[in-house]
Amino acid sequence: MHKESTRTTRFEARVTPEALKIIKRAAEIQGRSISDFVATAAQEAAHHVIEETHIIRLSVEDQIRFVELLLNPPPLAPAMKRAMKRHKELFGDDST
């Protein structure tokens, strides 16, 4: 049976005395150590940043336009037709 590792890695950061005072107070309010508070806050911020890069947010108008283009795409540009023809010449026709 695989036992989950409890080993930790040390992380250091330099902050202003004012920032440390605020962090200490927030950690105290939550009843946590400064280390735990900072690690958790940093991890939450990291998850948020990563999530934001994977989500595309569109206005209602842009959502409607997106769906309309999927359902009724514009005609292919001449360059795209040439590229498709060249692709078929090089790699064969995959449409069957």
- Residue 38's contacts (CB-CB under 8 Å, 6 or more residues apart) are 13, 23, 27
**Among candidates 15, 51, 44, 17, which has minimal Cα distance to 30?**
44
HEC string of 46-60 equals: HHHHHHHHHCCCCCH
Please provide residue 74's backbone torsions phi and psi, each rounded to the nearest 5 degrees: -70, 160
Helix ranges (DSSP H) in the chain: 17-30, 34-54, 60-71, 78-91
pLDDT above 90: residue 7: no
What is the pTM for the complete model shown? 0.55
Q: How confident is the model at residue 2 (pLDDT cuts 50, 70, 90)?
A: low
- In tens, the pLDDT along 66-77 reads 999 999 999 999
- Give residue limits of the domains in the chain: 13-96
Confidence band of 22 (pLDDT split at 50, 70, 90): very high
Let me know: does 85 contact 77? Beta carbons within 8 Å: no
For residue range 39-72, list pLDDT tens digits in order: 999 999 999 999 989 988 899 999 999 999 999 9
